[in-house]
Amino acid sequence: MSEAAGDGTLVVQNGSAPRGVPVVTLVIHGAVIGEVTGGTIVIDDPTPLDGFAPEVTGYSFQKQIGDTTAKYGGVDFRFRAVGGTYKITIYGSDVDLVASGRGTVILAGSADTPTQDGRYSLNGADFKSLPATPTKLLSVGASTAPSG
């Protein structure tokens, strides 16, 4: 997959956050693939008729929570959302994802120890430990929010 001008990247490895705190809250126009060892993911596809649809496999449960939003959960499930604009919120432990495109993200880890919260790289920068408290809104790629 090639990147368009202004696209950026986000990589999260072994991300974990306390119960009720999202590890990742991502709004992106582009592509996201990932895996969650234990937890839930909420995917909003605000343009469901655009010909692109997110896919989740290996989940234990699924619940439709709006016209364009679904929640999935379980142990060791995978997801991908490619080609459209999505809002993805992930809760849990051992969250791994790779995203490419344009958008915004808020990241959080665990306050327990820096070695248990996971790490992230944004727009090709060096990896950093996920913070104990949620970050401010960060830009993936160009600093403009995705259109949708």
CA distances from 146 to 2, 20, 43, 46, 131 (A): 18, 26, 16, 12, 25
For residues 4-25, give the mean pLDDT.
Answer: 92
Residue 31 above 60 pLDDT? yes
List pLDDT tens digits, range 78-118: 999 999 999 999 999 999 999 999 999 999 998 776 557 89
AA identity, residue 133: T
For residues 23-34, give the mean pLDDT.
Answer: 96
The mean pLDDT value of the chain amounts to 90
C-alpha 58/C-alpha 75 separation (Å) is 8
- pLDDT at residue 147, rounded to an integer: 43
Residue 55 above 50 pLDDT? yes
- pLDDT at residue 113, rounded to an integer: 60
Rg (CA), the chain: 14
With beta carbons less than 8 A apart as the criterion, state whether 12 and 120 touch: yes
Instruction: Give the torsion sign (CA, 81, 70, 60, 23).
Output: positive
The angle formed by the CA atoms of residues 15, 31 and 39, to the nearest 5 degrees, is 30
pTM above 0.85, yes or no: yes
